Homo-oligomer: A and B are copies of this chain.
Amino acid sequence: MAKKFVYIFGGGRADGSADMKNLLGGKGANLAEMASIGIPVPAGFTITTEVCTAYYENEGKYPTDLPKQVNDALKFIEEQMGSRFGNPDNPLLLSVRSGARVSMPGMMDTVLNIGLNDQTVEGMIKKTGNPRFVYDAYRRFVSMYGDVVMGVQAESKEEDPFEVIMQERKKQKGVTQDLELDEEDLKWLVKEFKAMIKQRLKVDFPEEPAEQLWGGIGAVFSSWMVPRAVSYRELHHIPGDWGTALNVQAMVFGNMGDDSATGVAFTRDPATGENYFYGEYLTNAQGEDVVAGIRTPQPINRSKPVAPDAVSLEEMMPGIYKELDDIRLKLEQHYKEMEDIEFTVQQGKLWMLQTRTGKRTAHAAIKIAHDMVQEGLITKKEAIARIDPDQLDQLLHPMFDPEAEKEVLAKGLPASPGAAVGQVVFSAEEAEELRDKGHQVILVRIETSPDDIRGMNAAEGILTARGGMTSHAAVVARGMGKCCVAGVSDINVDYSAEAFQVAGKTIKKMDWISLDGSLGEVIAGKVPTIIPKVGGDFGTIMKWVDEVRRLGVRTNADTPHDARTALEFGAEGIGLCRTEHMFFEGDRIDAVREMILSSDRQGRQKALAKILPMQRQDFEGIFRVMDGLPVTIRTLDPPLHEFLPHTDGEMEDLAAKMQVKVEAIKDKVDSLYEANPMLGHRGCRLGIIYPEITAMQARAIFEAACQVTKEGKKAVPEIMIPLVAHVNELKLQTEIVNKVAVEVMEEMKVKVDYLVGTMIELPRAAVTADRIAEVADFFSFGTNDLTQTTFGLSRDDAGKFLPDYVKLGILERDPFMVLDQDGVGLLVRMGLEKGRQTKPELKVGICGEHGGEPNSVEFCHSIGMDYVSCSPYRIPIARLAAAQAVIREKQEIQRDV
């Protein structure tokens, strides 16, 4: 028997189900599922993703058995819908749509109204009694098919050729709106469109419905590889070899008159997560009209305040609304999820076109997960597992200071929450360019299209003049976690002038504005921001998270201020306190430079003596804030040349200040020059050659710890020696630290418990970790540097080729973003295991930036680390990822059993 490539659905039955997403795509699997549970969907069938893959592997050829399976499925649709494909009297019209495993909104092609030709048009008129509607569908079909399938497209600088013919007719008739064209006009357009296609392509427009159908299927499969789809997949890490499934489905029409409508809804509010039925619809409209943002849609109900002239679906079609609301509840009960649905009402009958897991803001994700636990729909662990840790980032970034004064220029829809401040740009390309140059930008568009994806990603926020809450801009922005204010009809965008008018003002390119995506406000200038609080539902979920996770979460913090922020986010200690930043503050850089310029130990010690009290103060502040929690302090790490000026002018200034000759400074700068500073004289190599630096830092730490202890607080210093390659380096540095510790504690007559450990950030340290653990009290994996050395890849220089590496599929992800588990991770695992061989109780953590990246956190959990350390704002993400790691681990164990 041939392999099954085609899965039917409709009329209360289906071949597939929701768990077959890999084979049927998200849309197809959910259509099958809906059909199975008795929800009305127009009958149809899904061609599997395997066919797409085979199509690309075999140079556009389909499996031989496919046509037969498609024909059988067509018969099923005809039976279900009571009409026949290509039958002039009672024609069935079909849509062909893509449907990948994960949603790629608007990225691939769709062909609607397949089956229309000069014969079936008559049948449709008979069936609908609405010739204008039928000819309107026909001319839409011909232009869509001509464009998408046959490839008639505007050449550069040319206007859309279909649009040109439309304009010509409108001009002849003296009208401006499409709606003003009548049946005859539309009929004329169909003829002219076909003639233009023939003239351009030298082929006839296909009249045969079967040919139309296969043309559509081919076009949709081909659209998997169009550049914008490829870009989208890159951005969202979707492998190209997944392929797309394809859904052929009976057409239903929301534009068959006033008893017809089409809409999009979410079973809960996707922006806030509130539990009410949220959606928009348009009467007498096609589904695409709602999403495209051309007409501003109406709300489906009055659960929230709406515009005074709005007419809700509940008011307009109460029966239909009731039926839809029942389906909403049925879907939530069935999927135990917030669903994103599409529906069409055709002449008083409700059809569901799609259901899928609804995209939501981080706020909404938190609230929905929390509420569903309260409602008994899901367990706490399911709630935790359901929140995307990456998305949490949105919640943890600064929001506008509510106390700040702000000049609101206009209000629009709060399409995607957040606070964005940036300079105005009007094209996606410019947004990318300026971002690459280090600018923060706000992308302002009349409406966005799939071609704008990269620019939207580059922008801090998106502002559109048109479109609703389910418009392209809104959906994509929410998916990206970008702030978006949509449908601000009060702004008047002029692309050619690179400006927009609002409230009597002109905002030009590069002017600063602020967007409040939660309130839908467009604000003049830069509004100051504050740190968000972790409370409410979020706080509750984070409590559940902490009950589940095993891994500790610390923070990287160099100042009392950062430490305080981190504590609010739930930090359980400091995993990395860098001391070099402290060297730049205020006047201390002078003393630091004096030390570097000293030619002997005595001179250096004199300069270090000046730095000592300042460093001690820094540490006191941090110990006071962290009272009782461990504070891992790294001794000086960067090469000394980073502290010296490099331009002639700066060197002259310094010479004057230091009262030395400028040549002395230039000589020093020259002598400190390094071909590869990343692999140069830095880390513990400084403390080995200049032991007085380590001694000063140790003294500052212990004096601070003793002082704070005297004040009745508890200091828990963990001193961390960076860039150790050989155990002997750590031995020498540890001896210095221990010697100073004894001295200071004797001087101050206070005892402080402390640890001395090391960064494991060089491959040699990882492979000789058994030896290093003989000396170290703890290990902290510095995976930034470890990634650089393991790959032999400078982070500063990789930008020139690393993006291509991801594009070419050499690397799945940027290893500086997501820990490379096969390579770097192997060394981390080896280092941990060898370390614990020597010292089973060895404390092990990570303090590279991977410590706040969910996949990497899961890896750290799985190999048995004690803690991860990350920037304050990423702490909740790390906590969540740590809990999810426990949950997934248990699921895997259960699966294995």
Contacts and interface: CB of A to CB of B under 8 A. Distances in A.
Interface in A780-835: 785, 788-794, 796-798, 800-801, 804-805, 808-811, 820, 822-824, 826-827, 830
Contacts of A824: 764
Interface string A634-662: 00000000000000000000000000000
A768 B726 contact: no
Contacts of A797: 674-677, 679-681
Task: Pick the most buried of A678, A725, A797: most chain B CB atoms within 10 A of its CB.
Answer: A797
B726 A801 contact: no
User: So how many copies of this chain end up in the complex?
Assistant: 2
Nearest to A811: B726
Nearest to A723: B792
Contacts of A571: none
A823 B768 contact: yes
Contact of A794 (B674, B688, B800, B810): B674
B729 A810 contact: yes
B678 A768 contact: no
Given A762-B791, A808-B732, A678 B681 contact: no
A669 to B, nearest CB: 14
B676 A810 contact: no
A768 B820 CA distance: 11
Contacts of A762: 790-792
A808 B824 CA distance: 31
Interface residues of A, number: 51
Task: Pick the most buried of A791, A808, A809: most chain B CB atoms within 10 A of its CB.
Answer: A791
A781 to B, nearest CB: 14
A789 B789 CA distance: 5
Interface in A703-742: 723, 725-726, 728-729, 732
B823 A725 contact: yes
A363 interface: no
B768 A826 contact: yes
A689 interface: yes
A789 B810 contact: no
Nearest to A671: B800
A855 to B, nearest CB: 18
A810 B675 contact: no
Contact of A788 (B679, B805, B811): B679
Contacts of A820: 764
Interface in A329-369: none
A767 B831 CA distance: 13
Given A732-B808, A789-B792, A811-B726, A823 B679 contact: no
Contacts of A792: 678-679, 683, 723, 725, 761-764, 785, 789
Nearest to A728: B810
A809 B768 contact: no
Nearest to A731: B810
A728 B688 contact: no
Given A676-B677, A679-B793, A763-B827, 10 more contacts: A674-B797, A678-B792, A679-B797, A680-B797, A685-B801, A688-B805, A726-B810, A728-B811, A762-B791, A763-B792
Interface of A: 674-681, 683, 685, 688-689, 723, 725-726, 728-729, 732, 761-764, 767-768, 771, 785, 788-794, 796-798, 800-801, 804-805, 808-811, 820, 822-824, 826-827, 830
Closest 4 pairs between A and B when the two form their complex, measured CB to CB? A679-B794, A676-B794, A763-B763, A675-B796
